Structure 1
Amino acid sequence: MKINPYNSIQQNPYRKQIDKSEKAQGASAQRDKLEISPEALEMQKGTKMEQERAEKVKALKEQVDAGEYKVDAKAVANKFYEYWNN
């Protein structure tokens, strides 16, 4: 490949393409739109089980914040015992 120092960057044929695309983008300054179908909105809400779980977690958080939540040490120990022995 021979490099000719007399051809400057100003004569780059790709430069014209870039300039045209920049002008086209400036002319059409529309905002993007997002449309979500009703089925997708239903999927975002989650299943009945997910909604019930979220409500349960919310109730537990409120109990912890209020200082009313009590841990049943025996139940926790039994769960650990069952997990490690199975």
Structure 2
Amino acid sequence: MKISKMNIPAINPYKANQAKTEQLAQKAKMQSDKLEISSEAKQLSEVSPVTVQRNERVEQLKAKIESGTYKIDADQLASNLANYYKA
């Protein structure tokens, strides 16, 4: 009895692993990150009127200090400190 090759394709044992690796790579390319910002977060990121007023006050105080016209009321400062630490 004679057995001959009958056009059997060569079997590559690594081909299945290679195909799986390629599929995983394609899935990774298809996925993308997504970011959603809630309306509450958008409101928090906006500049509040209090912040604007505070910045204006700081700039006014800086200008007074630089010009030398800023005076500290020692009695008022002591009173405020005492009230702060009593509470």
TM-score class normalised by the smaller sequence = 0.3 to 0.5
Report which of the two structures shows the higher radius of gyration computed on alpha carbons: 2
Normalized against structure 1, the TM-score is what?
Answer: 0.47
Structure with greater proportional helix content: 1
The normalised TM-score by structure 2 is: 0.47
